[in-house]
Amino acid sequence: MREPESPTVGSGSERGEHRRVSRRDFLGGAGIRAGLGREEPVNEALSGLSIAEAGRKLAAREVSSVELMRAVLARIERLEPRIGAFVARADPARCLAAAREADDEIAHRRYRGKLHGIPIAVKDTHYTVDLPTTARSPILAGFTPPFDATVVARLKAAGAIIVGKTNLPEWSFGGSTPGTKNPWDLSQDPGGSSGGSAAAVAAQMVLGATGGDTSGSIRSPAMRCGVVGLKPTRGRVSTYGIVPISWTLDHVGPIARTVEDAALLLNGLAGHDPNDPSSALTAAPIYNARLRRGVRGWRIGVYNAETLAGCGAESLRAFDEAIAVYRRLGADLRDVDLPVDGSVAHACQRVIRIGEAAAYHRAYLRAGMDYGKESAVRRQLAAGSLISAAIYQRALQLRASLIDRMQATFTEFDVLVTPGWDAIPDERGFPSAPILSGIWNLCGFPCIVVPAGMRSAPPVLPLGIQIVGSPFEEEKVLVAANAFEQAADWHRMRPPDPSR
Amino acid sequence: MTERENAFRVPASSPDFARTDPAWAAEALRQLGISWRDEADLDAICDVFDEYRRLADVIDSAQISPEQPPMVDLERPTR
């Protein structure tokens, strides 16, 4: 029987430059071994460096990008069969060639910045000219886009090296990621929909990754895997060349092991994109420039008791401890009454999401394209197609009104801190946490989750807190997150090595 | 008021909230050019649509000025 074509080869004019690796060899790691070379020792520990640390070592030429890449490839070879974070991977020989090129540029004083020579991954919704983009749907199987998504192009221009595309649920629908294991407990899901990215970062198979967030899909898996996930302001990061769920709710952002790394990745991702009509014109600052200025004297908003009533006990415990940390850091904490009816916000977010998704999928649905026998998404889309335009427009009106009120409320504090959420949502979203997660997609405000402890009861998985800011105030969100991270130190936790 | 618009009229909180009529859904999907596999598939689509009708009811019941524009520009705060 003929073997299926490998997902690891390049495409188009580049195809001839790369060796073909069969699926069997790929899964067995022969491709990686061939790329690595058998004689040279690999220091796998390098894959655990933060982007900031690796960037400093690369710039100082204490470590080479090739050494870093070899560490990452070796770790992926060892752990990927257990974790299942990737949908497709770049040819290892090609990754090493890119790393050699980065080393050469750095040696010739053409250092591009902290992402130069850094191995990363992107979610398999991001168009990539050299790897297929499937959004985990049979409809897009084998599709290799003719251009890179803007975020992919930006990361490549910054010198980052994309080693693979990460796993997600079908079309990014859902809060779990079938096929990917949580590195903290292999019996557990990593959360979703950017679960492959969060798992790959947590397992130190890459130094950073990107995800997409329509209802919490960066933040939920980041929290569940004990890493940092940032959803920027709507318009801050281009969504051009990203397979959408919902044009007005989708966000693209970084997943990293530290807040500083999230800032460095955001430096690479952010900025105006003329190809994206929703792209902001507001200039993007250098997000790591003032990261350590602290929160002394900052007004930090805290959800009031009524709002917190629906949160899980474990999340509330981590939240209370985080509030105590902020108090010690000199912040002025104040209760906040959000000007929002949670059920209305949830309804608007859900209706806008499925209405726009149904519009995007209309051609596929009308053509009777095969979503796959087990697809839960097709029925969602068919039902979503029946929602009236008047209801959709009314949801948009309610959203606009909510944003107006929310912007006024956010003038009363610098950032808002919320608990995390510890439930795995069903495939239709985050019903247990609409006031925590989807509401910030609805408003488009920036937010970040950072590790804030561990569950005390099984499954013993990480917990997090969330920090929310006003539109385009990612800097403040990052400063508040960094202050907590450095004081609480939860970011140094690492999952057990699953192969030992 | 069309039959389709009427589907949204009965509040989800009401005991009179009626399940989506599969015959109505079948006709609506047919008009949209969307097919389904069999009766069980159509029933499942109706179940999902019932959930969206409940959400639509929440949206319909919320207070909002008819003058409120639906557009959002986060770079130009209105206050």
Q: Choose from B19, B52, B54 for mutation: most chain A CBs within 10 A.
A: B52
Which of A65, A137, A193, A238 is flagged as catalytic? A193
Q: What is the DSSP string of B13-68?
A: TSTT-PPPPHHHHHHHHHHHT---SSHHHHHHHHHHHHHHHHHHHHHHHS---TT-
Tell me the per-residue pLDDT of A386-396, one tens digit each, with 9 for 90 and over: 999 999 999 99
Q: When comparing pLDDT for B21 and A308, which is higher?
A: B21
Per-residue pLDDT tens for A227-283?
Answer: 999 999 999 999 999 999 999 999 999 999 999 999 999 999 999 999 999 999 999
- Burial of A190-221, coded b for 16+ CB within 10 Å and e otherwise, reads bbbbbbbbbbbbbbbbbbbbbbbbbbbbbbbb
Q: Does A339 touch chain B (CB under 8 A)?
A: no
**Residue A156 annotated as catalytic:** no
Test A387 with B4 for CB contact under 8 angstroms. no
Reply yes or no on whether the pLDDT at A10 is more than 90.
Answer: no
Residue A362's CB is within 10 A of a number of other CB atoms, namely: 15
Task: Kindly report which listed range (A143-152, A304-313, A407-416, A450-459) carries the lowest average pLDDT score.
Answer: A304-313
Task: Tell me the domain boundaries of chain A.
Answer: 27-214+249-269, 344-394
Beta strands in A26-155 (DSSP E): 86-89, 119-123
Total number of domains constituting chain B:
1
B13 lies in a domain?
Answer: no
Higher pLDDT, A428 or A47: A47
Judged by CB atoms closer than 8 Å, whether chains meet at A398 and B62 is answered as yes
Length in residues, chain A:
500
Is position A181 annotated as part of the catalytic site?
no
Residues 6 or more apart whose CB falls under 8 angstroms from that of A201 comprise: A121, A207, A208, A209, A225, A227, A255, A256, A257
Mean pLDDT, residues A335-339: 91
Tell me the pLDDT tens digit for each residue of A346-403. Answer: 999 999 999 999 999 999 999 999 999 889 899 999 999 999 999 999 999 999 999 9
Please report whether residue B77 resides in a domain.
no
CATH classification (class only), A27-214+249-269 = alpha beta
β-pairing, A251-256 vs A208-213, is: antiparallel
Whether the CB of B1 is below 8 Å from some CB of chain A: the reply is no
Predicted local confidence at residue B77, as pLDDT: 66
Q: What DSSP string runs through A422-442?
A: -SPP-TT--TT-TTTTHHHHH
How confident is the model over B42-53, as a mean pLDDT? Answer: 96
Asked whether A417 and A323 are in contact (CB, 8 A), the reply is: yes
Which among B45, B60, B79 has the least Cβ separation from residue A382?
B45
Highest mean pLDDT among A302-316, B2-16, B28-42: B28-42
Average pLDDT, chain A: 90
Domain span at B39: 20-61
Beta-bridged to residue A335, according to DSSP, are A302
**What local confidence, expressed as pLDDT, does residue A11 receive?**
35
| DSSP assignments along A228-288, one per residue | EEEE--TTTB--TTB--S-TTT-EEEEEESSHHHHHHHHHHHBS--TT-TT---SPP--TT
Say which residue, A102 or B3, is predicted with more confidence.
A102
User: What pLDDT is recorded for position A435?
Assistant: 81
The larger pLDDT score, comparing residue A375 to residue B7, is at A375
Q: State residue A23's pLDDT score.
A: 41
Helix B22-32 crosses helix B39-61 at what angle (to 10 degrees)?
90
pLDDT score, position A306: 77
The continuous run of DSSP H or E covering A101 comes out as: helix A92-107
Query: What predicted TM-score, i.e. pTM, was given to this entire model?
Result: 0.91
Judge whether residue A332 has pLDDT over 70: yes
Tell me what pLDDT residue A5 has. Answer: 37
- Backbone dihedral region for residue A236 (phi beyond 0: left; psi -120 to 50: alpha; all else: beta): alpha
Q: What is the pLDDT of residue A312?
A: 82
**ipTM over 0.90 threshold:** no
* pLDDT-above-90 percentage for chain A: 82
Contact A350 B41 (CB under 8 A): no
Kindly report the number of other CB atoms within 10 A of residue A15's CB atom.
Answer: 11
CA distance A433 to A224: 14
Residues of A in contact with B78 (CB under 8 A): 404, 407
Q: Tell whether the model's pLDDT for residue A2 goes beyond 60.
A: no
B47 confidence band (pLDDT: 50, 70, 90): very high
Q: What is the pLDDT of residue A36?
A: 53
Cα-trace Rg, chain A: 22
User: Is A11 considered catalytic here?
Assistant: no
Please answer yes or no on whether A383 and B34 come within 8 Å at the CB atom: no
Rounded to the nearest 10 degrees, the angle between the axes of helix A92-107 and helix A51-59 is 50
